[in-house]
Amino acid sequence: MLRLLTIVAALLVPAGEVFAHGSESTPPPAAKKGPSISPAQVSQSSRGPVLADPKGMTLYYFDRDDTGNKSNCDGKCTERWIPFAAPADAEATGDFTLITRSDGSRMWAYRYRPLYFSRQDKEPGEANGYDAANLWHLARPAE
């Protein structure tokens, strides 16, 4: 009799798991899609290696963005310099952080320096916005 109860119990345990978790052939739920690993990559520009967005457009930083927590390029400044926008679900990763702009939008920063595109760059790899005299520099990868 004990042998029969042991056999029945052994058969019911897997059946109980199937009832508790559904059919064994049901795939697990898909993982939630999160933000990309890094918002920028190292790319070759006409002025050497720079940080660029996934499309290869060169990124810049502004010397007056020196606090690490805000952008000083607003209003007319954004007519020439386009903030590197971050999606709502973006999270800081590695050397890339997020800055909340005065209008409430978010943008990417590299080593706490907000990143921008130059309207002068039309194609990937161009670096026409470099203008050290006016405090704009190419964003370069850390060495």
Q: What is the pLDDT of residue 53?
A: 96
pTM listed for this prediction: 0.72
Q: Is 102 contained in some domain?
A: yes
What pLDDT, in 10s, does the model give residues 66-102?
Answer: 888 899 999 999 999 999 999 989 999 999 999 999 9
Count of domains for the chain: 1
Q: Is 35 contained in some domain?
A: no
Low-confidence ranges of the chain (pLDDT < 70): 1-36, 143
Q: Is 7 contained in some domain?
A: no
Percent of the chain with pLDDT over 90: 60
* Residue ranges making up the domain that contains 93: 41-138
CA 22 – CA 37 distance, rounded (Å): 34
Q: What is the pLDDT of residue 84?
A: 97
Cα 126–Cα 131–Cα 134 angle in degrees, nearest 5 = 150
